[in-house]
Amino acid sequence: MQAPIGIFGGTFDPVHLGHLRAAEEVQSLLSLQKVIFVPCGTPALGKQPHATAEQRLQMVLLATKGLAGFTVDRYEVDQPGPSYAYDTLRYLRSVYAEAPLCFIVGVDAFLQFEKWHRWQELFDLAHFVVMQRPGYSLPEQGNLPAWVRQRWADNPEALHQSTHGCIFVCQITPHDISATAIRSRVAAAQKLEHLLPDRVQQYIADNSLYTN
Ligand code: ATP
């Protein structure tokens, strides 16, 4: 079977070095053939982006430009209505019928998993790779722990042996960077060193984003 493809969805408002370093680390730890960044068009769970979908897409294109193994898909940006991982995974499954697909998500986002559209069907389309993130841990209460246990993969090899259905929790180097903190720093005219690729920082300045 071919090597798995990572799918990294997010609002990316803006994309930052926490995203890029996490994606690089996951790609290497899991031997992914590539990581596809999928900027969200309209968030389904009520989050209101500050930059437009097209601007967020442009920032992801600038951030990943020239990075081997990273591509960007504008599927969600072009879809009308809320962006659902279910639709995106069905679309990507139609493009990559044979490859294992690994939906990469931070543990903070995975905590909301039961609110996702058709969440119980998502494991029929892809594996899930949950990245550790400072300040968050996997839930111990509710339905999710049992759901996770049933699909638990002890090692990345499992993600290479089937096209979907497993969950792998990935211990990555913690990067305490968030888009929320970056937007606040831009609004307060504070320095952004070591938080963003230079090209993204320039795009934010050129388009006067996040200045309130
Ligand atoms: P915001 O602060 O606006 O909520 P964010 O920094 O969490 O944004 P998103 O675009 O919402 O960025 O995140 C996309 C995905 O990347 C999510 O699955 C999120 O958990 C993950 N992620 C974001 N930042 C990090 C980080 N520093 N380390 C690991 N995962 C991250």
Q: What percentage of the chain carries pLDDT values higher than 70?
A: 100
Residue 126 CA to ligand 1 center (angstroms) comes to: 20
Q: Is the pLDDT of residue 88 over 90?
A: yes
Residue 22 CA to ligand 1 center (angstroms) comes to: 10
d(CA 107, CA 113): 10
**pLDDT of 174-185, one tens digit each?**
999 999 999 999
Helix (H) or strand (E) segment spanning residue 152: none
CATH number of 5-176: 3.40.50.620
Q: Which of the listed residues 7, 8, 11 should we mutate to test ligand 1's pocket, taking the one with most ligand atoms within 8 A of CB?
A: 11
**pLDDT of 7-30, one tens digit each?**
999 999 999 999 999 999 999 999
Rounded alpha-carbon distances, angstroms, from residue 122 to 3, 15, 128? 20, 25, 9
